[in-house]
Amino acid sequence: MDNPRTEDPRARVYARRKASKTTEQLTTPSINTNTMEEIDLNRPDLYINRELSLLAFHRRVLAQAKDTSKPLLERLRFLCIASSNLDEFYEVRVAGLKEQVQFGSVQTGADNLSPQEILNRISIAAHDFVDEQYRLLNNEIIPSLEKENIYFLKRDQWNETQNQWIRDYFNNELLPILSPIGLDPAHPFPRILNKSLNFIVSLKGKDAFGRNIDMAVVQAPRALPRLISLPAEASQRPQEFVFLSSIIHAHVADLFPGMEVLGCYQFRLTRNSDLFVDEEEVDDLLRALEGELPGRRYGDSVRLEVADNCPEKIVNYLLKKFQLEQRELFQVNGPVNLGRLIAIPDMLDRPELKYPSFTSGLPKNLGRNLFATIREGDVLLHHPFQSFTPVIDFVRQAAADPQVLAIKQTLYRTGPDSVLVDALVEAAKAGKEITVVVELRARFDEEANIRLANRLQEAGAHVVYGVVGFKTHAKIMMIIRREGKKLRRYVHLGTGNYHAKTARIYTDYGLFTCDEDIGEDVHKIFMQLTSLGRNAKMRKMLQAPFTLHSGMIERIAREAENAKEGKPAHIIVKVNALTEAEIIRSLYRASMAGVKIDLIVRGICCLRPGVEGISENIHVRSVVGRFLEHTRCFYFHNDGKPEVYCASADWMDRNLLKRVEECFPIEHPELKERVIEQGLKLYLADNTQAWVLDSEGNYTWLKPKEGEAPISAQTTLLQHLTDKA
């Protein structure tokens, strides 16, 4: 067996869920909307499956790689992003479904599909997705790159000079660190690292000890690049690349002297990478996660990718070894580690084949002294069109300001070399009271977050890890400054992470304010996170898991009541995902009451728009472009007195009911208008990067109609908000 288990602790959790008659979700007060009770809004056909909707989003990303209007190297980048997305989909979503089947869970979502049914449908869609990836790479991207004098050389294309250089590279860089493993009773099949590049080699003959070994495994070194740029002395053209896999293929026989290599085939195994900690039984979350991290690389097998020329006998051998089924096999015509091609755009100085560079702008009213600026009025930043630097400067100025007494902040993802963490360390060393809530369970960032938590503690900061059972996903920062005889709270609230790198590629909002009520609300949230006590009533903000879910449902219901009374009623929502069933039912009721509802949902959308008599007034679109859409904004017409909120939370079960999230009002009239016009209505007008969802669950890419001017929300914001504006 690949990964034998004894008394898997996950089984206990599934058993608890199965035995429990109540949901694990935090209950929220039900909202009585008094609407058309004869229509059953729990019908499974009114809901799109979550996993299949996520796969549909990955297809929209892949479609960007097909778009010949985009710069060529950006098309390649989108191809790689789509591949990485599918990797994570299998590591987490498919792995979770397989666990449910393994432990006998029959839990279904609103769509009423069983885990096994979903896996069957995923297999069909994923195989089609992968086939499209490699067709696009081989038939479109690579030929287009060759027209631009960028070449991936195959073995039969190497000239004598290149053959010699590659042989030297193999002998000097690869041979000393490769450890081929012959498979016999003394050398069992090695443990295969998650998503690593490997080769299974078919052999004939006897080794040095006279043993008949017909199979061996070669594991590619993780430290070496998967693409090697040939130097000038070995190149006929300026930009020629060789795959590491091709080099190993060419010289694999050198690893087995005296034996005949019959075949060498690359393969890659994807494993369950979702860390498991039974939080009901753990005493120290940090230590528990540290113990789980090494196992992530060797979780249960969920997918096998293998070269399409690999013989059926060897394929079946690998499937049996990893305990996988035929539907979990992907035979590919090209590199099995497609995502590694993402290094190419950064390796090439070809600006004409990339998006034009830009310099993020700054609001005109943003002075050098951020505290003075914020006292004059709220400041709203729209990343990446506007710079993330003021957020970092906010902490740096606080560290240097003798009037600043304390800084409190949540950290979910920051990146490995965070300038913001550097600033917090400086502030701690300067004697400020620093309190940081680090979410250790941010998926795939657990190891980095453990390191930064230790670093902050060493600098003298107070570090806590949030609330067991509820991830801290809120993006909040508070600086307490003495001004005269009183203390003033300065606050930053965001829709995205405190991550300088993603602030260049994700669209997000960040609000600076010293509003007393919001400052008091943020203070209460930090008190919840760092101490023990009852939930305190918020003045202006909404907070998950306490008031955000019910607060959104109340506002949706208010629009429905206004529509019933003949008043104008309109809801615009922009989120990354919409899955929570009670929110969806509330939107259906509002639509049935006559409310106009526009939903801009980047990724997963389980709501089915355009259903006669139910969701005819609901329109859903997804915008996919150069930047990853990440803002969460909510607009409610409110009988002519519009309410606008931004939030860290999507409309998903986990965000609304199982996480600590913040949702904050945009009250300054000018800033409110900016969010409505630039953050919502502009995206509703987009006719070049928008995809429209129909009642069948299919997305159609919008194109300008004849005589219609093309509108791209992201391009328009680049033109208006960056330094080039």
- Quote the pLDDT of residue 452: 82
- Tokens in use for 118? 């979903």
- Residue-level pLDDT at 14: 53
The percent of residues above 70 in pLDDT, for the chain, comes to: 89
CATH number at residue 211: 3.30.1840.10
- Separation CA 673–CA 366 (nearest Å): 19
pLDDT number for residue 212:
77
Task: Report residue 441's pLDDT band, with 50, 70 and 90 as the boundaries.
Answer: low
Same domain for 705 and 640: yes
Q: For residue 185, is pLDDT > 90?
A: no
What is the per-residue pLDDT for 442?
Answer: 56
Burial (0-12, 13-18, 19+ Cβ within 10 Å), 537:
exposed
d(CA 12, CA 637): 47
pLDDT given for residue 108 in this prediction: 78
What is the C-alpha separation between 28 and 164, in angstroms, rounded? Answer: 70
Query: Residue 211 pLDDT > 90, yes or no?
Result: no
The mean per-residue pLDDT over the stretch 550-554 comes to: 98
For the ranges 59-63, 159-163, 187-191, which has the lowest average pLDDT? 187-191
Q: Give me the pLDDT at residue 35, please.
A: 43
* Residue that finishes a domain, picked among 327, 353, 379: 353
In this structure, the answer to whether residues 503 and 561 fall within a common structural domain is no
For residue 165 the two structure tokens come to 């250089």
- Write a three-state SS string for 222-250: CCCCCEEECCHHHCCCCEEEEEHHHHHHH
pLDDT by residue (tens digit) across 46-101? 999 999 999 999 999 999 999 999 999 999 999 999 999 999 999 989 999 998 88
Shared domain for 456 and 560, answered yes or no, is: no
3-state secondary structure of 215: strand
Residue 664 near residue 647, CB atoms below 8 Å: yes
Beta strand pairing status for 433-438 and 462-464? Answer: parallel
> What length does the chain have?
725
Q: Is the peptide bond before 335 cis (omega within 30 degrees of 0)?
A: no
pLDDT of residue 507 exceeding 60 = yes
Report whether 702 contacts 687 (CB < 8 A): yes
Read off the pLDDT band of 29 (50, 70, 90). very low
Whether 661 and 563 share a structural domain: yes
pLDDT of 131 over the 60 cut: yes
> What is the pLDDT, as a whole number, of residue 450?
77
Q: Is residue 56 part of a domain?
A: no
User: What integer pLDDT is reported at residue 134 of this predicted model?
Assistant: 97
- Does residue 73 form part of some domain? no
**Quick one: 595 and 673 in the same domain?**
yes
Pairing label, strands 433-438, 404-411: parallel
pLDDT higher than 50, residue 5:
no
Q: Which residue has the tokens 């690869």?
A: 174
Query: Do 195 and 269 form a contact (C-beta atoms < 8 A)?
Result: yes
Instruction: Exactly one of 249, 382, 473, 549 is catalytic; name it.
Output: 473
61 belongs to a structural domain? no
Parallel, antiparallel, or unpaired for β 596-601 and 570-575?
parallel
Please indicate, yes or no, if residue 364 is contained in any of the structural domains. Answer: no
Two structure tokens written together for 525: 């949230």
Distance (Å, whole) CA 258 – CA 277: 49
Q: For residue 182, report the phi and psi dihedrals to the nearest 5 degrees.
A: -75, 140
Torsion 119-123-125-130 (CA) sign? positive
Q: How confident is the model at residue 11 (pLDDT cuts 50, 70, 90)?
A: low
Q: What mean pLDDT is predicted for residues 425-447? A: 82
Q: Are residues 382 and 334 in the same domain?
A: no
473 an active-site residue? yes
Contacts 24+ apart (CB under 8 A), 502-505: 502/413, 502/415, 503/383, 503/384, 503/388, 503/391, 504/360, 504/383, 504/384, 504/388, 505/384, 505/627, 505/628
pLDDT higher than threshold 80 for residue 496 = yes
Between 292 and 67, name the one with better pLDDT: 67
The pLDDT assigned to 626 comes to 97
Same domain, 390 and 331: no
CATH code, domain carrying 593? 3.30.870.10
Is 413 within any annotated ligand binding site? Answer: yes
443 annotated ligand binder:
yes
- Report the 10 Å Cβ neighbour count for 4: 5
- pLDDT score of 364: 86
Q: Do residues 323 and 469 both lie within one domain?
A: no
Task: Give yes or no: residues 534 and 558 share one domain.
Answer: no
Query: Do 548 and 531 lie in a common domain?
Result: no
The closest alpha carbon to 108, from 97, 99, 122, belongs to 97
Contact 252, 264 (CB under 8 A): yes
Per-residue pLDDT at 415: 76
List residues bridging with 512 in a β-sheet.
379, 492
In this prediction, residues 94-113 reach a mean pLDDT of 86
Mean pLDDT computed over 365-377: 93
pTM confidence score:
0.90
3-class SS at 52? helix
Residue 361 CA to chain centroid, in angstroms? 26
**pLDDT for the residue numbered 283:** 44
pLDDT tier at 657, thresholds 50, 70, 90: very high
- The C-alpha angle 50, 54, 59, rounded to 5 degrees, equals 145
Report yes or no: 385 and 379 within 8 Å, Cβ to Cβ: no
Q: What is the pLDDT of residue 10?
A: 56
pLDDT of residue 32: 41
Question: Among 178-187, 293-302, 411-420, 694-703, which stretch is predicted with the lowest mean pLDDT?
Answer: 293-302
Note whether residue 248 is domain-resident: yes
Of 538, 567, 586, which residue sits at a domain end? 538
- Domain holding 323, by residue range, is 149-353
Question: Is residue 66 situated within a structural domain?
Answer: no
Mean pLDDT of 191-207: 90
Residue 707 CB partners (closer than 8 Å, separation 6+)? none
Q: Give pLDDT tens digits for 314-344.
A: 999 999 999 999 999 999 999 998 998 999 9
Helix residue ranges, H only, 594-706: 653-657, 669-674, 682-685
Q: What percent of the chain has pLDDT over 90?
A: 74
Does one domain contain both 506 and 617?
no
* Averaged pLDDT for residues 197-209: 87
Domain boundary among the residues 512, 538, 564 is at: 538
Q: What is the pLDDT of residues 624-635, one digit of tens each?
A: 999 999 999 999
Q: Where are the beta strands (DSSP E) in 238-290?
A: 239-243, 260-271
Q: CA-to-CA distance for 619 and 573, rounded, in angstroms?
A: 11
Question: Does residue 668 surpass a pLDDT of 60?
Answer: yes
314/311 Cα distance (integer angstroms) = 6
Residue 368 annotated as binding?
no
Average confidence score pLDDT of the chain: 89
Q: Residue 499 CB: number of other CB atoms within 10 A?
A: 21
Task: Give the number of domains in the chain.
Answer: 3
Evaluate the CA torsion angle 317, 319, 325, 326 in order and state its sign: negative
Cβ-contact 242, 230 below 8 angstroms: yes
In the predicted structure, residue 246 carries a pLDDT above the cut 50: yes
* Residue 587 maps to a domain: yes
DSSP string covering 483-548, please?
Answer: ETTEEEEEEEEESS-S-TTGGGTEEEEEEEE--HHHHHHHHHHHHHHHS--PPPPPSS-EEETTTH
Instruction: Report residue 418's pLDDT band, with 50, 70 and 90 as the boundaries.
Output: confident
Residues 462 and 585 in one domain: no
Q: Tell me if 106 is assigned to some domain.
A: no
Report, in this order, helix, strand and coil percent for the chain, each rounded to 5: 40, 20, 40
Tell me whether residue 449 is annotated as binding. no
**Cα of 596 vs its chain's centroid, Å:** 30
- Measured from the Cβ of residue 353, the count of other Cβ atoms closer than 10 Å reads 18
118, containing H or E segment: helix 115-136
Tens-place pLDDT, residues 678-721: 999 999 999 999 999 999 999 999 999 999 999 999 999 999 99
Q: What residues have CB less than 8 Å from 608, skipping those under 6 apart?
A: 45, 46, 47, 48, 615, 695, 697
Token readout for 646 is 């931004």
- Residues 152, 181 contacting (CB under 8 angstroms): no
Rg (CA), the chain: 28
668 in a labelled binding site: no
